[in-house]
Amino acid sequence: MTQYSRVSGSVGLITLKNPPVNQLSAVVRHGIVDTVQKALSDPKVKSVVICGQNGMFCGGADIKEFQTLANMRGPPLIPMIHSIEAADKPVVAAIEGGAFGGGLELALGCHYRIAHSKAKVGLPEVTLGLLPAAGGSQRLPRLIGVPAALSLITTGRHITAAEALQLGLVDQVADHNTVDAAVKFALSVAGQSLDARRISNFQCPPVPNMDALFEDVMQKVRTTARGAIAPIACVQAVRAAATLPYTQGMQREKELMATLFTSGQARALQYCFFAQRVVGRWSMPSGARWDTSKGRPIHKAAVIGLGTMGRGITVALAQTGLSVVAVETQEKQFMEAKKAVSNMLERGAKRSGKPLAHGKITYSQSLQAVADVDLVIEAVFEDMGLKKKVFQQLSAVCKPGTFLCTNTSTLDVDELASQTHQPELVVGMHFFAPAHIMKLLEVVYGPRSSPELVAVVMELGKKMGKVSVAVGNCRGFVGNRMLKPYRDQAYFLLEEGATPQLIDQALEEFGFAMGAFKVSDLSGLDVGWKVRKEEGLVQPGGGSGKSARIRNGVRYSPLGDLMCEQGRFGQKTGRGWYQYDKPGSRDARPDPWMHSFLEEYRARHGLVARRISNQEVLERCLYAMINEGFRVLEDGIAAGPEDIDIIYVFGYGWPRHRGGPMFYANMVGLEIVLERLEHYAQANPDMPTLQPCSLLRKLVASGSPPVNKWKEVIKNVRSQL
């Protein structure tokens, strides 16, 4: 786990060996303590280099060890790093690949840091619900100054070696063999005084208006954290570094870490870290899996339809370096799209500092232009008739073996596949707007989809920088299917006495970026109205009599339809569930009109408004969504709870520090979720989405196992179906 050797006569070389990322597991910490001791007590050794094997310095503490305190054995990090800093021989960190979290804290305890030009460094603990509590919050501001340290520690962002050099975080950048460079450097500094190299002895560089700076940063962090506690503790820890002597700062760091370490938020964020990796190991009900299915390279892709989604997808594809044929048959849209795509690419290049991807896109107004591409993504208007026609044409035009993908958000992927000569080469690629920015991609396979195609699309998603989740085909797939009962409950609560702002406030206090009604105003009420009209659900004036609030035997709220009848489509019309200064404005303000609209509606339907608590809003909206999540698992649409949670965290603004809906249910307690659903279902027998699903009952009957053990119960339930 830790290898020791003497090189170049007088340099002790310590190599961390703990795949996959040389994380600081207990055995590694033991190894470091022993080998440092060995090097310091060997009179032939004049200086020391610490490096990691396989091109990676160190990925930090072993996150798996955090999950049970019982695993936290072995030498603690803080004294280990102190003993390195206190050494009387120079210790040099040779950073290849990356130094993250405890790995960077280890490097900050060394007297010098040399990084490879391609290496990255960072203190990402905040993303795991923690703070850099092995001295990182105290050493980093002393080394690079308070503002830069605050930026790195509160965001957890990884920076390049070049930026680290500019900040003074590393002393030298090597283009070739970093260990050789570090050994050479270690030889050159042997015997030199180390007084000025021990960061814990430094004073933080003075900051003018320090109180104002911290107030400002705290304000920003509170706004962006949306209830997450770790970013706030990070600011407090850096403040301690700026205002207290080192030992007192370390004490404060320890106290703050104690409040975070066992918190539910840390558990949720660490669950998300692993869940994100679990979804990459996809499987299909047929037994096909990520490790047994091989894709093939895609050189040229096409996008059909250059509306908002098509433009974003074109940009995302071009930015991966692929050749893209962008097709739009309508003249006006074609001209507008060319300009818009070009602007989006320019903005992207400016943001990332990477070269423009313009030259890779060819525009055409004819479908014939896609004859020689390897993969097509259809992004025309969400209309089954239109999409079917496009798929028939694509099947006739494209060369055999071309993969055909649809960017539908709800429609039946199998029905589209059945329009083609090779239905096994059709899948859904459900992007989220704006498609070149949003991280989530739902990859929707049908019973006939080939595993090769799923492998290709999952890989393509990765290249586009997406978190791709493979899911089965059903109406709305995973994300939108679960969103429906959540939204329905929000409407029903309005009928019963709530206001849009009461509901949104409860959801935003929970941690959602936007409540259900603000989201509806942003995406446009007319979108859902059109779908409901096609489904035959809309009645003029919302319908009348008792049946007005019932469709197909279940409870229905015509509120959204009535709003649309009044032309209140949301932000685009300047009026929706909220009012806006002008069409297109984003600043939502409560609209007094809504009060009389709801009063009149309730009076018409004999409803008496009652006081709705935040707790009821959360329970009804979230538990209805979670209940649907259990149905999704039962139906085999998602492989496991991790898939659902990652979809919600990356695509639907679910607060990451609450881990995703299924993790949240587990945290609340499955028996509590079941009991509340039973309570609400009894009170609302015409709302079947509140009837607890059998998988939830089975999990509770099995003793409510932790979320990572659900798959066993799910397997049994599915095998009985």
Residue ranges binding ligand LFKQWZQV (CB under 6 A): 20-21, 23, 59-64, 77, 98, 100-102, 124-125, 128, 130, 133-134, 274, 277
> Closest separation between CB of residue 293 and ligand LFKQWZQV, Å?
17
Which DSSP category does 365 fall into?
A: S
Tokens standing for 317?
Answer: 């594809």
> Closest separation between CB of residue 23 and ligand LFKQWZQV, Å?
4
The torsion region of residue 660 among left (phi > 0), alpha (psi -120 to 50) and beta comes to: left
Nearest to 477 by CA among 292, 333, 700, 638: 638
Between 170 and 598, CB nearer to ligand LFKQWZQV: 170
Between 63 and 531, CB nearer to ligand LFKQWZQV: 63
Which DSSP category does 537 fall into?
A: -
> Closest separation between CB of residue 280 and ligand LFKQWZQV, Å?
8
Tokens standing for 648?
Answer: 């919600």
The beta-strand segments (E) located in 96-204 are: 98-100, 112-116, 120-122, 159-160, 172-174
Q: For residue 5, which amino acid is it? A: S
Which DSSP category does 204 fall into?
A: P
Q: Tokens 């003018």 label which residue?
A: 208
The answer to whether residue 346 is catalytic is no
Nearest to 166 by CA among 199, 121, 125: 121
How many CB atoms sit inside 10 A of residue 412's CB?
Answer: 18
> Closest separation between CB of residue 106 and ligand LFKQWZQV, Å?
9
> Closest separation between CB of residue 66 and ligand LFKQWZQV, Å?
8
> Closest separation between CB of residue 19 and ligand LFKQWZQV, Å?
8
The answer to whether residue 671 is catalytic is no
Between 74 and 542, CB nearer to ligand LFKQWZQV: 74
Residues 6+ apart with CB under 8 A from 225: 231, 232
Q: For residue 159, which amino acid is it? A: I
Q: Please, what is the Cα angle at 465 between 460 and 467, to 5 degrees?
A: 85
Question: What is the edge-to-edge ordering of all strands in the sheet holding 120-122?
Answer: 98-100, 120-122, 159-160
Between 273 and 334, CB nearer to ligand LFKQWZQV: 273
Between 46 and 466, CB nearer to ligand LFKQWZQV: 466
Render the burial of 385-406: b for 16+ CB within 10 Å, e for the rest: eebbebbeebbebbeeebbbbb
Question: Distance (Å, rounded) from C-alpha 285 to C-alpha 59?
Answer: 34
Between 253 and 328, CB nearer to ligand LFKQWZQV: 253
Question: Distance (Å, rounded) from C-alpha 384 to C-alpha 360?
Answer: 31
Between 20 and 592, CB nearer to ligand LFKQWZQV: 20
Question: Distance (Å, rounded) from C-alpha 173 to C-alpha 161?
Answer: 7
Between 99 and 411, CB nearer to ligand LFKQWZQV: 99
Question: Distance (Å, rounded) from C-alpha 248 to C-alpha 48?
Answer: 29
Whether residue 132 has a cis bond before it, omega within 30° of 0: no
Provide Rg for the chain, Cα atoms: 28
Q: How many helices (H) and strands (E) does the chain have?
A: 29, 19
> Closest separation between CB of residue 241 and ligand LFKQWZQV, Å?
16
| Residue 275: C-alpha distances to residues 269, 282, 458, 645, 650 (Å) | 10, 12, 16, 8, 12
> In a 3-state reduction of DSSP, which class is residue 94?
strand
> Closest separation between CB of residue 263 and ligand LFKQWZQV, Å?
14
How many CB atoms sit inside 10 A of residue 303's CB?
Answer: 33
How many CB atoms sit inside 10 A of residue 450's CB?
Answer: 20
Kindly tell me the burial class for residue 204, based on how many C-beta atoms sit within 10 Å of its own C-beta (0-12, 13-18, 19 or more): buried
Q: Which residue is nearest to ligand LFKQWZQV (CB)?
A: 101
Exactly one of 85, 125, 253, 328 is catalytic; which is it? 125
Between 78 and 531, CB nearer to ligand LFKQWZQV: 78
Kindly report the three-state secondary structure assignment for every residue of 101-123: CHHHHHHHHCCEEEEECCCEEEC
Between 79 and 703, CB nearer to ligand LFKQWZQV: 79
> Closest separation between CB of residue 102 and ligand LFKQWZQV, Å?
3
Question: Distance (Å, rounded) from C-alpha 611 to C-alpha 97?
Answer: 57
| Residue 110: C-alpha distances to residues 7, 107, 376, 423, 428 (Å) | 18, 5, 52, 59, 50
Between 130 and 345, CB nearer to ligand LFKQWZQV: 130
Question: Distance (Å, rounded) from C-alpha 623 to C-alpha 692?
Answer: 9
CA distance between the termini of the chain: 47
Q: For residue 79, which amino acid is it? A: P
> Closest separation between CB of residue 462 and ligand LFKQWZQV, Å?
10
> In a 3-state reduction of DSSP, which class is residue 540?
helix
Give the β-pairing of 550-551 and 554-555: antiparallel
Q: Cβ distance 357 to 349 under 8 Å?
A: yes
> Closest separation between CB of residue 77 and ligand LFKQWZQV, Å?
5
> Closest separation between CB of residue 582 and ligand LFKQWZQV, Å?
43
Between 141 and 692, CB nearer to ligand LFKQWZQV: 141
Between 64 and 350, CB nearer to ligand LFKQWZQV: 64
Q: Cβ distance 679 to 692 under 8 Å?
A: no
Exactly one of 85, 105, 328, 495 is catalytic; which is it? 105
> Closest separation between CB of residue 256 and ligand LFKQWZQV, Å?
12
Catalytic residue set: 105, 125
